[in-house]
Amino acid sequence: MSEADPEEPGALDQVLILAPYRRDAEYLVRLLSEHDIAVAACTATDLAAHLAAGPGVIVTTHEALTPGLIAIIGEHLRAQPPWSEMPIVVLLDRASPNARIRAALEEAWSRSRQLFYQRPLTPVELVSGVQSALLARLRQLNVRDHIDREVELRRELNHRVKNILASVSSIFEMTRRGAQDIDALAEDFGGRLQALSRVHSAVFQAEGESISIAEVAALTFDPYRQMGVSRIVVQGPPVTLTRAAGTTLALCLHELTTNAIKYGALSVADGRVTFRWEILADLRQHLSMEWREEGGPTVVKPSHAGYGTRYLRSALASLFGGKPDISFAADGLRCTVQGPLSRLAEDSEADRYLPGA
């Protein structure tokens, strides 16, 4: 047997009454109902079915405690999840062997929170005791929710760490292949890791799973602007990307920026870069991006593609679903790419650009 789904009406917050003699059950049901406590009476015959529905508290008279009933409840208690310790209120008589009953129940129901009351007791005492038991049950549920959330967060953390480590490993391997010496390897690899770190930090601080293109651009370009490289123009409408898409875009912009600083428009005083994006007018759910360099040294197409070019082609093609156009024009490098916004953004973001939206 297992606990019922706590989202179902009455599950885990209902009091189950076991009082087979006289009119005890009727009295207890009426008393607790008057205090807005969900309550149901049962007998040994239908006890198993009521336990399967998942009551939160059991109230039983000592007369109901037959060996068979004790065994049924004990089986239910042993099947409880680790967070659960069902409260059981036992109503004893003065003439009953109270010490022996307590010892027997503590042994048979070790996974329960037992509260013993001697009759006669006032209605206030009984209602107060039941309400305290229900409050204890609520606290157990809070513990359960905390445990479930912690397990979920651990799984998510494990998944993300694996993804990050895979990204770092891939970046290192591709950087190593293109490095001329150990100093170049350290510089390029460190810069790429910083670009990756900045985007992950921004998404984490936003407590969400998305980041805007403008934020990605600012995170990528601001460190270079602080170093005196301020000739980067950014233009585009508000568009929010998924965390994964934002991370990939940041790494692509990092490659383009460092290349421009080393060899392109940002390597000279008069050069400048424009990074712009737009939602295409004729394809309202398509996003277009362009990187354009001007005023730099005359560009000469390399004899073979380096790490940066290979990464850009691979990453942008995966991101947009189509190959980017990387042009080594004499007056400046160009990189353009376009694709469905749905590949980079959450569905709600893409829906903003549907016709009539």
Distance CA 48, CA 42 (A): 10
Residues 6+ apart with CB under 8 A from 315: 248, 251, 252
Residues 122 and 234 in one domain: no
Looking at the domain assignment, is residue 326 inside a domain?
A: yes
Q: 277 phi and psi, to 5 degrees?
A: -145, 155
Distance CA 237, CA 215 (A): 12
Q: Which is nearest to 32 in space by CA: 118, 139, 182, 134? A: 134
pLDDT the model gives residue 1? 38
Burial class (CB in 10 A: 0-12, 13-18, 19+), 216: buried
Number of domains in the chain: 2
pLDDT the model gives residue 310? 83
Q: Three-state SS across 273-333? A: EEEEEEECCCCCCEEEEEEEEECCCCCCCCCCCCHHHHHHHHHHHHHHCCCCEEEEECCEE
Looking at the domain assignment, is residue 342 inside a domain?
A: yes
Looking at the domain assignment, is residue 78 inside a domain?
A: yes
pLDDT the model gives residue 4? 44
Summarised one tens digit per residue, pLDDT across range 128-144 is 989 988 888 888 888 88
> Is 0.75 topped by the overall pTM?
no
- Residue 299's CB is within 10 A of a number of other CB atoms, namely 18
Chain centroid to Cα 113, Å, comes to: 33
Residues 346 and 238 in one domain: yes
Distance CA 70, CA 75 (A): 9
Query: In terms of residue numbers, what domain contains 242?
Result: 208-351
Summarised one tens digit per residue, pLDDT across range 281-319 is 776 689 999 999 999 999 988 877 776 788 889 889 999
Contact 307, 320 (CB under 8 A): no
Q: What are the strands, taking DSSP E only, across the chain?
A: 15-18, 39-41, 57-61, 86-92, 112-118, 210-212, 232-235, 240-242, 272-279, 286-294, 325-329, 332-340
Crossing angle (nearest 10°) for helices 182-205 and 243-262? 140
**pLDDT, averaged in runs of 10, over the chain (357 residues):** 41 84 91 91 89 88 91 91 88 86 89 88 90 87 83 72 64 66 79 70 65 88 68 92 86 85 87 93 82 92 77 90 93 94 75 57
Residues 341 and 239 in one domain: yes
Average pLDDT, the chain: 82
Q: How many CA atoms lie within 13 A of 152 on its CB side?
A: 6
CATH of the domain at 336: 3.30.565.10
Residues 142 and 262 in one domain: no
Contact 234, 224 (CB under 8 A): no
Residues 236 and 104 in one domain: no
Long-range contacts of 307-313 (CB under 8 A, 24+ apart): 307/174, 307/175, 307/177, 307/178, 307/188, 308/178, 308/255, 308/256, 308/258, 308/259, 310/174, 311/174, 311/251, 311/252, 311/255, 312/252, 312/255, 312/256
pLDDT the model gives residue 336? 96
Residues 342 and 228 in one domain: yes
Distance CA 287, CA 320 (A): 8
Of 130, 146, 162, the one marking the end of a domain is 146
Burial class (CB in 10 A: 0-12, 13-18, 19+), 179: middle
